[in-house]
Chain A
Amino acid sequence: MAASPMKIRANNKDGVTEVKVLMSHEMETGQRKDSAGAIVPAWFITELSASNNGKVVLSSDFGPSVSKNPYLQFKFKGGAKGDKVTVTWKDNRGESRTDEATVA
């Protein structure tokens, strides 16, 4: 299943860029059981990295206890209006997705 695009907002204010990312992912923990009692296999984002004009500004590891459709907000110094903020995630099935936003 192809994952839906991420929603990314990046706003620069007083030399600091604030990035908000909303991903679309099930984030299944692997602890839940379906109605037949079988364990629903784990399926979650494991790694995420964000960069601004190619320079990495955040790299992070997620566990299954991050909420479904994960939200992430962080800030970095620098960045300017028009810069490209790119976010990439990878999940435990090896699927990945990359989306880009322009700093406003």
Chain B
Amino acid sequence: MNNQRRNVLKTGSGAALMTVLAAAGIIKPGMALADWNKAAFDAKSMADTLKALGATAPADSKDVQVAGPDIAENGAVVPVGVSTSLPNVTMVAILIEKNPNALAASFMLPEGTEPNVNTRVKMGQTSNVYALVKSDGKFFMATKEIKVTLGGCGG
């Protein structure tokens, strides 16, 4: 009976597991978890959010697509996707204009990862949804209005 192994299994939850995994070299401390951009997520208006993301005056682009339903029956779960044919995309973000905080999520794409992400977001009310894309160091944007029949913020 391997007692050490038993102990590992017994304590193998939450932080303890992380420590064990880190010790085993499976997860390196601080691996790839970038600093959360608090300013951008706290920003209320579109303009403030764009500023916090460092995106000043993004250009509208036909090469950026926002995927989503025209009408979302349930604002708590709205599938939204962003894709683009622009080259060298390093960042993609999803912004919802009329939510209490516009920024929903941002994605850092290392080389080799395709600028095509899909997720689900909450929407408080009918709003324009913006896709922000950083390509070759420049910012581009596209928008789509999604109508919400039932708000998703627990009102």
Could you list which residues of chain B lie within 8 angstroms of chain A, going by C-beta atoms? 13-14, 18, 21, 27, 31-34, 36-37, 40-41, 76-79, 81, 96, 99-101, 103-110, 112-114, 116-123, 152-154
Q: Which residues of A contact B154 (CB under 8 A)?
A: 29, 31-32
A56, A63, A74: the one within 8 Å of B101 (CB): A63
B41 and A63 contact, CB distance less than 8 A: yes
Complexed CA–CA distance, A9 and B37 (Å): 28
Q: Which residues of chain A are within 8 angstroms of B108 by Cβ–Cβ distance? A: 58-60
> Across the interface, do A2 and B41 meet the contact criterion of CB distance under 8 Å?
no
How many angstroms between the C-alpha atoms of A66 and B101 in the bound complex? 11
Count the A residues whose beta carbon is within 8 Å of the partner chain — how many? 38
A57 to chain B: closest CB distance in Å? 5
The secondary-structure label for the interface of chain A is strand
Q: How far is the CB of A90 from chain B (nearest CB, A)?
A: 6
In the complex, number of A-B residue pairs with CB atoms less than 8 Å apart: 128
Closest to B117 in A: A74
Task: Check A88–B27 contact: CB distance below 8 A.
Answer: yes
Taking a contact as CB atoms under 8 Å apart, the answer to whether B121 and A58 are in contact is: no
CB distance from A36 to the nearest CB of B (A): 14
Q: A75–B99 Cα gap in the complex (Å)?
A: 28
Q: From residue 55 to 90 of chain A, which have CB atoms closer than 8 A to chain B?
A: 55-68, 70-78, 88, 90
